[in-house]
A and B are shown apart, each in its own frame.
Chain A
Amino acid sequence: MTIGIVVFPGSNCDRDVRWALEGCVGLPTRFLWHEERDLSGLEAVVIPGGFSYGDYLRCGAIARFAPVLESVLEYAEAGGAVLGICNGFQVLTEMGLLPGALTRNARLHFLCEPARLSVAPGNCQWLKGYSDGEAIVLPIAHGEGRYQCESEQLAALEANGQVVLRYASNPNGSIGDVAGLTNPGGNVLGLMPHPERACDPLTGGLDGMRLLASLRN
């Protein structure tokens, strides 16, 4: 039961995710350098936050072509559990595992603050530890977190129960207050907030713990 953590040049939350999974949740991890292709023996894959390849061109645009993500795409399509946090969410949309795109925050500022969220777990396996409509607080830290998609696309996502995390007070202009999305199978979750920074009461609270601990059972 090992969790893979993708590491791109420019990732900067890879060690936070390792700290949360190993130190707080108690699960072993393995770093997956962007040139690796071998995902054997992994229970799940996390694409962490940061600035993959310097976020050149667009956030996540270059990362999408990394060899490791070819394997992650196959892994997710076969039902494997994949979590994309912040830059990882941007990467998931560029890969096409989740629809839409994340763009510059409406008021341009980089936002680094606690965000109140409402959870609608549906069939998302990462969120099975939360109740429907539960209010939680997770930290956000992003300059490009404004979720965008066609309005018909948003309606379809809402009808399918794929909008699993919403901002209670929209900080960045995301359409539909979207903070996190799951895929139809519920095995892929992309979110802008950082659950790995909310796994200890001293640093950011505990509301992210159940998300990562969903891997334990």
Chain B
Amino acid sequence: MLDPAGEATRAAAARLGVQGVRSLRIGKAIELELEAPDQSTAQSQLELLSDRLLANPVIENWHLELLDLAGEQQ
């Protein structure tokens, strides 16, 4: 799907003298902190949030990955 802001930024990269940017897409990064009793609850709550509020699946893709943070509470 056309990302007009990404295309405009790609054109600006060329004007800056950086050639060869073959594709450039602009998305969103969302930081959130969630309290949940366990990991599977957190996962399902995050999936609900991602699918129903944070992204519109008609026009946006989303990806959810739980990372192990060594030494920190998950």
Contact = CB atoms under 8 A, between A and B. Distances in A.
A100 interface: yes
B4 A101 contact: no
B58 A61 contact: no
Contact of B4 (A57, A58, A94, A108): A108
A57 B59 CA distance: 13
B52 to A, nearest CB: 9
Greatest chain B CB density within 10 A among A99, A100, A104, A107 is at A104
Interface string A40-73: 0000000000000000011001000100000000
A143 to B, nearest CB: 11
Contacts of B53: 57, 61, 65
Interface string A179-191: 0000000000000
B56 A106 contact: no
A128 to B, nearest CB: 29
Contact of A103 (B8, B54, B59): B59
A58 B54 CA distance: 9
B25 to A, nearest CB: 12
Contacts of B58: 93, 99-101, 148-149
Nearest to B26: A104
A148 B57 CA distance: 12
Contacts of B2: 106, 173
Contacts of A100: 58
Contacts of A94: 56
A105 interface: yes
Interface string A127-161: 00000000000000000000011000000000000
A108 B54 contact: no
Interface residues of B, number: 10
B24 interface: no
B70 to A, nearest CB: 32
Interface in B1-17: 1-2, 4-5, 8
B59 A107 contact: no
A87 B39 CA distance: 38
B1 A148 contact: yes
Interface string B35-70: 000000000000000000110101100000000000
Interface of A: 57-58, 61, 65, 93-94, 99-101, 103-108, 148-149, 173
Given A104-B4, A106-B4, 8 more contacts: A61-B53, A65-B53, A94-B56, A101-B59, A103-B1, A103-B59, A105-B4, A173-B4
17 contacts: A58-B56, A94-B56, A99-B58, A101-B56, A101-B58, A103-B1, A103-B59, A105-B4, A106-B2, A106-B4, A107-B4, A108-B4, A108-B5, A148-B58, A148-B59, A149-B58, A173-B2
